[in-house]
Amino acid sequence: MNTSLCLENLKRVKKFLNSKKAQCGGRMIKFKDLGFNSFEEYLSFFCSTLMPSNKTYEYFVDWGKIRKDVKKYVNELLLLSSLTKIPPKEREEHLTKLLIKYPQTAKVIPMLIAERAQDNKIDIFDPELENFISYNFDPANLNPETANRIVEFCNKTGILSLFDEIKDLYDYLLGIEVGLDSNTRKNRSGKIFEKMCQEKIKRLINPYFM
C-alpha cells in the first residue's frame, strides 16, 4: 500500500477513535487483549490491512442497466439514424418532417449530447439574446413550431453535424450511456464493498457450521 496513503489513513483513524473515546467515557479498544503492545501498534496494523481499492470487475460498468436503457429507444434511434443517409443541406428539413411524423423521436434528442432533460425541457442561455430559451422535447406537445425549435437546437449544439461522423446511433448512445454510468460508480462502490465483506464473513464462519 502507498506509504503516504497509509499515514493519512492512520491519522484519520486515530482522530476518529479518539473522538469515540470521549463519547464512550474514555473507554478505548483493549489492544493488549488483541495481542498488541500499544495503541499505535494496533493502529499501524489496522492501516496495513486497509485495501488500496475495492474495485472489482463489476465496478466499472453496469452493462445490464445500460443495454436495457438504450433498448427502450431502439425504434427512435433507427429513425434518427436515417439522417446519416441524408445530404447535410437537406438534414434540417428531413429532421423537421421526422419529428412531426414520429413525435417520440424528440425525447431522444437530448440524450445525444449526454443530457438528462428534466420534464423533457432544456433551458439554455443565449448570449446573443442575453436571455434564456426553453426547448421542449415532449412528444405530446410536438407541433410544427416546436419541431422547428428542436431542429434549431440540434443545429446550434452540433447534433446535426454529428451525422457526418457516425453511422449507427444505437452504438453511439451505448457509448454515451457508458460514460454517464461512471457517475454512479460511487453508489455502486458501496454495494460492492458490502458484498465483499459478506463473502469474507461467510468464508470465515462457514467452517463452524459445516
In tens, the pLDDT along 75-98 reads 999 999 999 999 999 999 999 999
Query: Residue 148 is which amino acid?
Result: N
Mean pLDDT of 113-140: 92
Nine-digit cell string for 67: 443495454
Could you count the other beta carbons within 10 Å of the beta carbon of residue 46? Answer: 17
- Give the pLDDT of residue 26: 36
- Tens of pLDDT, residue by residue over 40-78, are 887 788 778 777 766 777 778 889 999 999 999 999 999
Chain mean pLDDT for the chain: 83
Map residue 77 onto helix, strand or coil.
Answer: helix
Contact 64, 174 (CB under 8 A): no
Greater confidence (26 vs 190) lies with 190
- Tens of pLDDT, residue by residue over 131-181, are 999 999 999 999 999 999 999 999 999 999 999 999 899 999 999 999 888
Q: Distances in Å between the alpha carbon of 168 and those of 5, 78, 95, 138?
A: 45, 8, 16, 24
Above 80 in pLDDT, residue 2?
no
Mean pLDDT of 181-189: 71
What is the band of 112 on the pLDDT scale with cuts at 50, 70, 90?
very high
Nine-digit cell string for 46: 489496522
pTM of the model: 0.67
What is the band of 8 on the pLDDT scale with cuts at 50, 70, 90?
low
